[in-house]
Amino acid sequence: DTEVTQTPKHLVMGMTNKKSLKCEQHMGHRAMYWYKQKAKKPPELMFVYSYEKLSINESVPSRFSPECPNSSLLNLHLHALQPEDSALYLCASSQEGGLAGLTFQETQYFGPGTRLLVL
Amino acid sequence: AQSVTQPDIHITVSEGASLELRCNYSYGATPYLFWYVQSPGQGLQLLLKYFSGDTLVQGIKGFEAEFKRSQSSFNLRKPSVHWSDAAEYFCAVGAMDSSYKLIFGSGTRLLVRP
């Protein structure tokens, strides 16, 4: 099973709202990722969690707050977003996050994404 | 610095025709290379990957890719395209920073003529 699930599928929020995106995997992976993807662009890495610790933050504004409650779950808390934050938010997971070196297991599997619209 | 280049923004082929999507990478060590496909509004699906060994790798949906170290290329091919192959295709290289990360190319949109 190589499934990563994301909820909700779609989200519309105002600039003063607080919302959360959720991601879940049951593959036993210890690395999880958040990406932002604008239309007709490749995914841009936002955050990486490896063994439930934040290992990469790609200079993302503080209105995005990631959380990894356990090895299967990854949340992205949203607060005071701007209209330009409207995008597809993708979650991914991989085996180790590179802690064991780059191995055959280090393949990222992606969820279907959450389409976010900020009004 | 690591980078991935997909020189073709759009490619249009007729259904049943062969397909080749180009990918060139820049990476100092042995690259770990991937092709992903994305249908509109969907997540990314892994088509195939190369880590080592045989330089011709087979993937899902009849796709294959060939790693050519001398040309720093990892081109994706399919002998006969189906209308359902119309999508965005991303080439990516796996790299180590403070953690493992993927570096994506800008993507190639495939259009299929009936």
pLDDT score of B54 more than 90: no
What's the pLDDT tens digit per position in B58-109? 999 999 999 999 999 999 999 999 999 999 999 999 877 767 788 999 999 9
Chain A residues touching residue B105 (CB < 8 angstroms)? 42
Q: Which of A81-90, B44-53, B95-104 has the weakest average pLDDT? A: B95-104
Give A107's pLDDT tier (boundaries 50, 70, 90). confident
**Half-sphere exposure of residue A72: CA atoms within 13 angstroms, side-chain side:** 8
pLDDT score of A97 more than 60: yes
Taking residues B36-57, report their average pLDDT: 91
- In three-state secondary structure terms, A10 is strand
What's the pLDDT tens digit per position in B16-30? 999 999 999 998 777
How far apart CA A72 and CA B37 sit, in angstroms, is 25
How far apart CA B43 and CA B91 sit, in angstroms, is 15
Which of A106, A115, A117 to mutate to test binding with chain B, by most B CBs within 10 Å of its CB?
A: A106
pLDDT score of B1 more than 80: no
Contacts of A44 (CB under 8 A, 6+ apart): A35, A36, A37, A38, A58
Chain B residues touching residue A108 (CB < 8 angstroms)? 34, 46, 102
DSSP E strands, B7-72: 10-14, 19-21, 24-26, 32-38, 45-50, 56-58, 64-68
**Cβ contacts from A onto B, under 8 A:** 73
A31–B99 C-beta distance less than 8 A: yes
Q: Comparing C-alpha atoms, which of B40, B39, B38, B37 is closest to residue B48?
A: B37
> Among all chains, which residue has been given the structure tokens 């519309």?
A12
Indicate the pairing of strand B108-113 with strand B10-14.
parallel
Q: Comparing C-alpha atoms, which of B43, B96, B67 is closest to residue A55?
A: B96
- In three-state secondary structure terms, B64 is strand
pLDDT score of A104 more than 60: no
- In three-state secondary structure terms, B91 is strand
Torsional sign, CA B9, B15, B17, B20: positive
Which of B2, B44, B98 to mutate to test binding with chain A, by most A CBs within 10 Å of its CB?
A: B44
